[in-house]
Amino acid sequence: MQNLEQRRAAHALEKANDCRKRGDEGDCLSGYPGLIVNNGLLACLAFSVEKQKQHFRVANAIAYHLHEMNVCRRTQGGSADAAWLLNHLASPNCTALTLRWATSEALAFLGYLKRFVKTEIHVQTPDQP
């Protein structure tokens, strides 16, 4: 059984390639935790959905992680993406405790994602030597 840190790292490794900057994009990932701390997770998600590009891919990675960690679980069909997470956290059914937990978990996840995006790490599956 994996502990929380191992699960965060595994999810970050899984999403690292998708979250790398592409072409002429700036690197948003180094400032992403600061956006959350200064503006809140909801505002950061709204900005990311509007901005698209790397911001949107990072927000999608956060949504995936929060879903997999059962912080914000999507029970209906479809994938857990940034737009869904924004709507879920802004809904009247979401408590302040859930928003606080999601923010804390997102920041912990980003600590790993930032490092893995900056390095070329090749993930081996259990069946590979």
Q: Are 118 and 20 in contact (CB under 8 A)?
A: no
* Cα dist from 46 to 60, 61, 86, whole Å: 12, 15, 7
- pLDDT bucket at 47, cuts 50 / 70 / 90: very high
Q: Are 15 and 64 in contact (CB under 8 A)?
A: yes
pTM of the predicted model as reported, rounded to 2 decimal places: 0.88
Angle in degrees, CA 29, 79, 36, rounded to 5: 30
**Residue ranges of domains in the chain:** 4-19+27-118
Q: Residue 123 above 70 pLDDT?
A: no
List pLDDT tens digits, range 16-46: 888 888 888 778 888 899 999 999 999 999 9
Q: Residue 127 above 60 pLDDT?
A: no
What is the CA 78 to chain-centroid distance, rounded?
Answer: 17
Q: Which architecture, in CATH terms, is 4-19+27-118?
A: Orthogonal Bundle (1.10)
